[in-house]
Amino acid sequence: MHVKLARTDHPVQEAIAQRWSPYLFDAAPVAPDALRSLFEAARWAASSFNEQPWRFIVALREAPEAFERLLSCLIEANQAWAKAAPVLALGVVKTTFTRGGKPNRVAAHDLGLATGNLMLEASARGLSVHAMAGIEPERARALYAIPEEAEAFTALAIGYRRDAAGASHELAERDRTPRTRKPLAEFVFGAAWGEPAAFVAG
């Protein structure tokens, strides 16, 4: 099995170094207790005013009708590879605060925090998660009766990654491509925009 540990410039937790988003998934199901722990990790993410604006709609491949329904909410390019994952989920945000009904401008940010927690829990358990922006939000709204104050925002493919052997050349190459990230100096600023913080530059 190809391993893509992050080549970090500074020490990080093992689950962070191990986490990456494969395109190739094994058909093996994910145990219910593992899924509960993934969404428990999401549950404990930080959020503005503790609003917890995230909602997840989940479908398992072992329930074919429900799985196909959720799969149809992805754009075709994502359906092509995500259909192999044993678990699919839609990440939905409630866009207004429960108290007062005012717009929650950081709802998507908080969904991201919950998803990040879920991904790291998955990584620590030997599972993989691939998040997608390529979805059909209005189809999801119609199929799942998502209310007006909420919006389907992202999708997740969850499962055990498979080896690239025997996979299509394009997907195999994607999974073999080395992981890269910008250096800290390009996004951690100090005195002015674009000026690296002293602890980064020093």
| 26-163 is a CATH 3.40.109.10 domain | yes
Pair 91, 111: CB distance under 8 Å: yes
- Res. 192 pLDDT band, cuts 50 70 90: very high
Q: Where are the domains of the chain?
A: 26-163
Q: List, for residues 45-91, the tens digit of each pLDDT value.
A: 999 999 999 999 999 999 999 999 999 999 999 999 999 999 999 99
CA–CA separation, 154 vs 56, rounded Å?
Answer: 10
Phi then psi dihedrals of residue 31, to 5 deg: -60, 145
pLDDT for the residue 165: 67
Q: List, for residues 143-152, the tens digit of each pLDDT value.
A: 999 999 999 9
Q: List, for residues 153-189, the tens digit of each pLDDT value.
A: 999 999 999 876 666 667 777 777 888 899 999 999 9
The answer to whether residue 1 scores a pLDDT higher than 60 is no
> How does the average pLDDT of the chain come out, rounded?
93
- pTM (two decimals): 0.93
CA–CA separation, 73 vs 166, rounded Å?
Answer: 28
